[in-house]
Amino acid sequence: MDNSKYELYQMNTERVKDDVLEKNRYLERKLSEKEQSFELVKMVHFDKSIDLKVLNDIIIGCTGCLHSVMLYQHQVITDLDKQSDLYMQIIDNKDELTGHDGFFVADNVIPEFTVVVYPVETSDLLAESSQVVKHIFMLYPNRFMNVEVLDFVKSFMIVNDVLINIVLTRSKMLDLIETDPMTSVLNRSSWADNLTNLVGLNEPFFMLFFDLDNFKNINDTLGHQAGDEVLINVSTWLRSTFRGSDKIFRLGGDEFAVTGSINIEQVDGLVTKLKTLNSRFNRSIQAKVSEPISVSIGALIAHKKYTENELYTKVDNLLYQSKQKGRDTITLILELPN
């Protein structure tokens, strides 16, 4: 064999070998990605503490983007400071970024950044959920964006669809389990966990029991549908009266509970609010019902250790005292350090 043919043979052999090695590396990388994806799905499935905010952090960690923005309904989850110029640019250009079908790459909308826009596919079960994630924006500095990065992002976001559906479906199922279907406040089945969390607080908290007076008369005189309307109005009133962070429960029948944590500076304001609850209730609810109705309340503001049973019994006794006083009143005690 002459030298020229031998050299050509060597070159072809080396090229074939390089191609085989590159294909092997590609297959190994894909296999590794599949294994990692499986482990990630398994982790999200079994770890009930993973919510959308944690998932947003996972997206950043797995895709290598600098920032990630999740859009759902009228809310946003992001690692960005919502006062920052970059965040405001994203929100100002939201309609332009989401006005495309399918996977979209925008390299001229946000200066110095490439925005990868991914439309999320969610289960029909989540159609009416307030937390359905519609789009995810991943922000990359322009100098870091290339075809390989895009290919990986496309592959990962298919897995991310699975992760989002797991998190949102779990949240939806918990809502169905823990929410009273008529009043849309929390139900008694979620009360035990709340009580456990409350006694474990290392800060001041409040707890009140709230029982309607003469509710049976409304059911007997006006019918159960009118009674249901009263309960719905009461739950709506409670949600408007207390903070979004406070928890409102329907414990059964016409008995409600409200709990929350506070700091010591908020105690005086809370005391003032609680002392006016009866009159505010009468103005708001009585105006909608032809039969007399009022409310008896037992309330505790405390910063001390209780067992769950001690705490429940304490506030229940305060409610009983309000009933004994003639109803339409509140019995409130404070147990705070001097």
> Tens digits of per-residue pLDDT, 300-315?
999 988 999 999 999 9
Whether the model pTM is above 0.75: no
For the chain, what are the domain ranges?
47-178, 188-335
Q: CA-to-CA distance for 76 and 288, rounded, in angstroms?
A: 37
Strand 67-72 to 133-141 pairing: antiparallel
Among 31-40, 143-152, 238-247, which is the least confidently predicted range? 31-40
Q: CA-to-CA distance for 298 and 206, rounded, in angstroms?
A: 11
Q: CA-to-CA distance for 215 and 251, rounded, in angstroms?
A: 15
By the 10 Å C-beta count (0-12 exposed, 13-18 middle, 19+ buried), 229 is classed as: middle
Q: Classify domain 47-178 by CATH architecture.
A: 2-Layer Sandwich (3.30)
- State the distance between the two ends of the chain, measured CA to CA, in whole angstroms: 101
DSSP 211-250: EEETHHHHHHHH-HHHHHHHHHHHHHHHHHHS-TTSEEEE
Task: Return the CATH superfamily for domain 188-335.
Answer: Reverse transcriptase/Diguanylate cyclase domain (3.30.70.270)
Which candidate, 155, 178, 169, places its Cα nearest to that of 52?
Answer: 169
Model confidence band, residue 27 (pLDDT cutoffs 50, 70, 90): very low
Contact 210, 323 (CB under 8 A): no
Q: CA-to-CA distance for 128 and 120, rounded, in angstroms?
A: 15
Q: CA-to-CA distance for 250 and 183, rounded, in angstroms?
A: 8
Query: Is residue 7 over pLDDT 70?
Result: no
Strand 75-78 to 67-72 pairing: antiparallel
